[in-house]
Structures are given as structure tokens and as C-alpha cells.
Amino acid sequence: AQTVTQSQPEMSVQEAETVTLSCTYDTSESDYYLFWYKQPPSRQMILVIRQEAYKQQNATENRFSVNFQKAAKSFSLKISDSQLGDAAMYFCAYRGLSNTGNQFYFGTGTSLTVIP
């Protein structure tokens, strides 16, 4: 089975600064999707950003961008100009495109604190 690893259980960032959350994954598939989800204290899972593995260009959504290194199987999330509302758990997730395309694999999460 695919595995997703987030090696930073906790991170903190000063408001308005930039922070990078790390994620690595293991797969034998050549095409797949990668995701970052945000889970605030309300528990609602919110999609932050999505990357298709066949696309070389890194995905960007406003202040959120990724650094996708396919050969290294690395998928980090950069949050620029951090805001207090960014404080949450962040989960990296993987989904293949084979017959297991319905299976998402999640990392264990990184808890982000934003310091005013």
C-alpha cells in the first residue's frame, strides 16, 4: 500500500511570515494526485491545494503553493504571509489513478500554530 509521511508533528510561524510543511510518499504508480487538506478545530476537512503528478508545474492557490519533486517523492506546502486563520492541522494525502483510485492515503498531520 502507498504510504504518506509527514515528519513534522508540529510547526509554528510568526504572523505574516512564510512556513513550509513537509510531506513524502511512497508509490510504484507513475500517475497520481497529491493533496493538502486543512483541518481547523471545527474538524471540517478543507481542501487547500491539489497537484497532478503528470504536471511539472507546481500548483498554486493564492498564498498556498507546493514544491512537488516527483523523483524524490516529495510534496511540501508553502504558506506565505501566514494569517491567524491558517492555524490548523494540515494533512498531506495521496490518491492513485489505478483501480485503487478511490483510496486516499493520508499522512499523520502537522499541527500549525500561527503566532501573532
Partner 1 sequence: NAGVTQTPKFRILKIGQSMTLQCAQDMNHNYMYWYRQDPGMGLKLIYYSVGAGITDKGEVPNGYNVSRSTTEDFPLRLELAAPSQTSVYFCASRLDLSRRQFFGPGTRLTVL
Residue 6 near residue 108, CB atoms below 8 Å: yes
User: Applying CB under 8 A, which part among 12-20, 61-69, 79-87, 106-114 lies near partner 1?
Assistant: 106-114
| Residue 1 CB, nearest approach to partner 1 (Å) | 7
The residues, any chain, with a CB within 8 Å of residue 15's CB and separated by 6 or more, are 82, 83, 84, 114, 115, 116
Q: Which of 34, 107, 112, 114 binds partner 1 (CB under 8 A)?
A: 107
The answer to whether 47 contacts partner 1 (rule: CB under 8 A) is yes
103 sits near partner 1 (criterion: CB under 8 A): yes
Q: Are 104 and 45 in contact (CB under 8 A)?
A: no
DSSP 89-110: EEEEEEEESSTTTT-EEE---E
**Choices 14-22, 66-74, 77-85, 97-105; region in contact with partner 1 by CB under 8 A:** 97-105
Using rule CB under 8 A, residue 50 touches partner 1: yes
Contact 66, 36 (CB under 8 A): yes
Q: Which residues of this chain interact with partner 1, rule CB under 8 A? A: 1, 4, 42-47, 50, 91, 93, 97, 101-109
